[in-house]
Chains A and B, each alone.
Chain A
Amino acid sequence: MVRVLAIRHAIVTMCLLALAGCSSGGNPIVDAALERFTGEDDAPTATGAPAPANAPRRSAGITRAAIEATGTAMIRGRLVEENSRSVLSGVTVNGPYVTYASRFGQLLTLNGSLITGSRGIGTDLLSLTPGANDPLVRARPVASWPATIRRTYRVPGPGPGGRAITVTCRYQPGETREIEIVEVIHKGQQVEEICSGDDVSFTNVHFADAENGFVWRSLQWLGPDQGFIDLEVLEPFTSD
């Protein structure tokens, strides 16, 4: 039966790939698979660039009461080219690393507010090595964030370590504003994190509590093929 399925897949794939080659709308298989990650937990937002950090967000799919009722750490992610968002709940803790899972089994691992791994949303971020003074790992007042940091991203590639991409990032604080994340208003400062190195350049955007530096929302780069994810912390992890 396995053989039969393999052949069926091959045939279906050939047909679909042929369709994909003639279509300007992308690959239908990929779109369907992506939809599993971005399964509608919330109303869609505008496409393209991430919504402004202080833009009001509808929360049709989840409520603060529902979040608090679960009693678990919870985040919400949206791939920037997608319209809908996915809620992920904390499932494991290994030292400083907290792994969150979506209802379809995709995973995001965070060290503090920094995404250090992703699984199942397109092209995995295998791991991330932060610098010793990375403010997303060790929260501190925004005014105390270092001038520059270094990070090494590991993405799929040949060899046991995959492809390493090392970047240097500098910070550019922006305006202070308020944002709403599922019925809770957070006041903080928007900070651009401008990174370059190893033939890549990108800009992450963080919305951090100016007092303690905790990042409530951020736009984080996950690799050259995956691109950005818009991440919100619905319920932060505490070690209690």
Chain B
Amino acid sequence: MSRRATSTAALAVLLATAGGAAAQSYNLYGRPGLIDLPSAESFDDAQIGATFSGFGETRRTSVNFQLLPRVNGTLRVSTIRDVPGGPNVSDRSFDLQFQLLEEDGWMPGLALGFQDLLGDGPYGAEYLVATKTVGAGFTLSGGLGFGRLGSDGGFGNPFGLDTRPDPTVPGGRVQGDRYFRGDAAFFGGVAWETPVDGLTLKAEYSSDAYEDEVAGGFDRASPFNFGATYAVNDSVQLSAAYMYGSTVGVSLSFTGNPLKPLAPQDLGAGPAPVRARAANAPMGTAWADNPQNQDTLVKALGEAYAPDGIIIEQAKITGTEAELYVRNTAIQREAKAIGRVARVLALALPPSVETFRITLVEDGLAIRTAEIKRSDMEAQVDTPDASLKSWQTTGLLDARGRIAGENVWTREPEERFTWSFGPSIPLNLLDQDDGFRPDLLLTANAAYQVAPGLSVSGSASRFLVGEAQQDVSTSTSPLPRVRSDSDLYYSGRDVSLDRLTADWVFKPAPAVYARLTGGVLERMFTGVSGELLFAPVNSDLALGAELNYVRQRDYNEPFALLDYEVVTGHGSLYWDTGYHGIEAQLDAGRYLAGDWGATVSLGRSFANGWNVRGYVTRTDVSFDDFGEGSYAKGFEITMPLRWGLPFENKSEARVSLLPSENDGGARLDIEGRLYERIKDLDRRSLEDGWSAFWQ
């Protein structure tokens, strides 16, 4: 809990100031392209961009992510008017584009795209597009479009699949029987990177008839669009275009790249220099017979670690071994924290101490032990490829819960009570109704540590700006209203109690983690929650089980309860694939509305703490009962603030995109699930960041 700054505004701020954009530009759909059309280009791997665009009655808010070097995804909420003078209707869509060929020599780049992959809305389209740089700053793109992109100038389906069925309703499902069917049409355009730094001029011929918008009064007088994109800096793009012979369109894009930090990451005091022991150093261990020597050493070590935010929780130093349980409160890369602890040990301990066991403790849980030989460090320090060598000689172990035995130094809690408060912006970047809806919350947090692993904590908040929530239920869900009435919990209160729980985390065995939580678990539910996690250090797989009994909270009284109660829980399988940081998770069990089903999550993690994750949930709730979207799905982006800071910090910002407020497939929102606590310290994560060991 202590690591997560809920201030999702940080994401927007940092995206706005991020560096490292690729040369390609975002189109009005928020993906690589010309003006309104796609191109076969890709952004730099992992690049994230947010685009806000509009023309006529059309508004689009998009978040684009270069998921893999050749796979690009876009989430978008759009509003269009399809009835003259009528209301604007909202549509959510998800695009995927696969780069089949990279541009190479005479060979153009080639991409295959799906627009509104899961949708039943007006944006459904598929395309094959080629892009070629032809010199003097000119880039030509041309493609073959289907669906919406085959709606003007179509010439019949080249595969003979002339009939494009109506979309499956309700939407949100793969529309496999529609892809590449119906009329096809050519589209294309040109971009010219002018001698004016950052200015690109564009022209395109569109095969999009804009049928729904025309029905709503949009004047599509021409298939040609003409525009300009100006890159204000590496992270901000402005575009304007004369669209379809009748109107002006504008867009604003912000970009950032997890792999390209905003600030230098290695500024500040370097680590303690390691000096090899002299060949004739005294190796006697008699000094260890006096317990006071251990106290003296631990005190000195603690002072040396303090500037790095490393706190010794437990220690046992014998004549030949030093075992430290430490809490890393500041250093974002855990391997760097391990390295800094080891360096000071090598510098400060008597020569007879050869083995260091350094255990990292997170939120009261001892997670990972690194076993390091001092002589290995002395042989490796300063040498070429030292971090690679240290990875090969460091042993990683499942940590025991606590150091056992006699003469163990244990830190007395200095501050049992901690608190904080600050602004938090529940930025709803892709709100179904409003597209972009910033509110401002003031959130206060407090925690009291009763004993190691046992704590009481809570948080409360109130709106400073916003609060445009429903105060009467508008839900038509036939299911228990476990999420569809969530607005009622935000309305009519000065201060809202978001959470108040007692938490106990412990380790029944070295590779087994356990959590018991009771109290006000989240904004809508009170109850008890128990969780077990089996996560051995040398496995890419982990298994978990969670069981909860909860009752729904009253809308107005913070401790009153409604009648609805449910036993919910899941078995979970976690898999760190080792491929480009991709992690997979399968949760199967009973959800809040009593429905049974499973959730599949895929995410991509980076060594610097960035994480992008998407999930889908299917349960035994029918598509009709579920309502809009057919089943639960969503995306989350977690961003470490360290990425934008030149000094160490472990806080994170998390933003949810396309959050679901449907009742089917809903899970409890529990703080501090076990896998979240330990995953940065699994073998893959440590290996990925181990180059920081000597830093």
A residues in contact (CB < 8 Å) with B: 1-4, 6-7, 9-11, 13-14, 17-18, 20-21, 27, 29-30, 33-34, 36-37, 91-95, 97, 99, 101, 104-107, 109, 116-117, 119-124, 126-130, 152, 154, 156-162, 225
Contacts and interface: CB of A to CB of B under 8 A. Distances in A.
A5 B366 CA distance: 23
Given A7-B420, A29-B263, A160-B687, A154 B385 contact: yes
B534 interface: no
10 contacts: A13-B649, A30-B646, A106-B268, A109-B382, A119-B270, A119-B271, A123-B266, A152-B384, A156-B692, A157-B691
Interface stretch (B78-86, B272-280, B595-603, B614-622): B272-280
Given A11-B422, A105-B269, A152-B384, A159 B691 contact: yes
Contacts of A156: 265-266, 691-692, 695
B695 A13 contact: no
B609 to A, nearest CB: 13
A126 B270 contact: no
Nearest to A119: B270
Given A20-B17, A33-B646, A6 B10 contact: no
A160 B690 contact: yes
A17 B3 CA distance: 20
A225 B263 CA distance: 11
Contacts of A30: 263-264, 267, 646
B407 to A, nearest CB: 28
Interface stretch (B148-156, B183-191, B244-252, B386-394): B386-394
B268 A36 contact: yes
B5 A7 contact: yes
A18 B235 CA distance: 13
Interface string B54-87: 0000000000000000000000000000000000
Contacts of A159: 687-688, 690-691
Contact of B384 (A92, A93, A116): A116
A97 B383 CA distance: 8
Interface in B642-695: 644-647, 649-651, 653, 687-695
A226 to B, nearest CB: 8
Contacts of B391: 160-161
B415 interface: yes
B329 interface: yes
Contact of A9 (B645, B687, B691): B645
B18 to A, nearest CB: 9
A3 B457 CA distance: 13
A124 B645 contact: no
A18 to B, nearest CB: 6
B22 interface: no
Contacts of B694: 117, 126-127
B110 interface: no
Contacts of B695: 119, 124, 126, 156
Contacts of A1: 415, 418
Contacts of B644: 13, 17
Contacts of B13: 14, 17-18, 21
Contact of B3 (A6, A29, A97, A122): A6
Contact of A2 (B2, B378, B390): B2
A7 to B, nearest CB: 5
Given A6-B5, A36-B268, A106-B269, 12 more contacts: A3-B445, A4-B418, A33-B264, A92-B274, A105-B269, A107-B270, A107-B273, A119-B266, A127-B387, A154-B384, A156-B692, A160-B690
Given A29-B263, A105-B270, A13 B641 contact: yes
A116 to B, nearest CB: 7
B349 interface: no
Contacts of B262: 17, 27
A13 B647 CA distance: 10
Interface in B553-585: 581
A94 B378 contact: yes
A109 B645 CA distance: 25
Nearest to A157: B691
Contacts of B552: none
Contacts of A105: 268-270
B266 A14 contact: no
A152 to B, nearest CB: 7
A185 B133 CA distance: 55
Contacts of B9: 14
Nearest to B382: A97
Given A123-B264, A225-B264, A92 B422 contact: no
Interface residues of B, number: 69
A34 B267 contact: yes
A231 B190 CA distance: 49
A99 B343 CA distance: 14
Contact of B388 (A3, A92, A106, A160): A160
Contacts of A117: 382, 694
List of 6 A-B pairs having minimum Cβ-Cβ separation, nearest first: A119-B270, A105-B269, A162-B691, A21-B17, A160-B391, A129-B384
B66 to A, nearest CB: 16
A33 to B, nearest CB: 4
A10 B263 contact: no
Nearest to B267: A33
Contact of B2 (A6, A10, A36, A128): A6
Nearest to B392: A160
A6 B387 contact: no
Given A29-B263, A119-B266, A159-B690, A10 B388 contact: no
A3 B269 CA distance: 23
A101 B650 CA distance: 27
B297 interface: no
Contacts of A93: 275
Nearest to A105: B269
Contact of A18 (B17, B275, B647): B17
B505 interface: no
A83 to B, nearest CB: 17
A9 B648 CA distance: 10
B382 A120 contact: no
Contacts of B688: 158-159
Contacts of B390: 160
A127 B9 CA distance: 38
B499 to A, nearest CB: 15
A120 B267 contact: yes
A34 to B, nearest CB: 7
A44 B651 CA distance: 37
B418 A94 contact: no
A219 to B, nearest CB: 20
A172 to B, nearest CB: 26
Q: Which of the listed residues B383, B390, B688, B690 has the most CB atoms from chain A within 10 Å of its own CB?
A: B383
Contacts of A92: 273-275
Contacts of B7: 10-11, 14
A29 B641 CA distance: 14
Contact of A3 (B2, B271, B649): B2
Nearest to B9: A14
Contact of A123 (B265, B381, B445, B645): B265
Q: Which of the listed residues B391, B651, B687 has the most CB atoms from chain A within 10 Å of its own CB?
A: B651
B216 interface: no
A24 to B, nearest CB: 9
Contacts of A160: 387-388, 390-392, 687, 690-691, 693
B419 A4 contact: yes
Contacts of A34: 264, 267
B128 to A, nearest CB: 31
B387 A162 contact: yes
B14 A17 contact: yes
A105 B274 CA distance: 13
A81 B390 CA distance: 34
Contact of A126 (B2, B269, B387, B647): B387
A128 B271 contact: no
B345 interface: no
Nearest to A117: B382
Interface in B230-257: 235
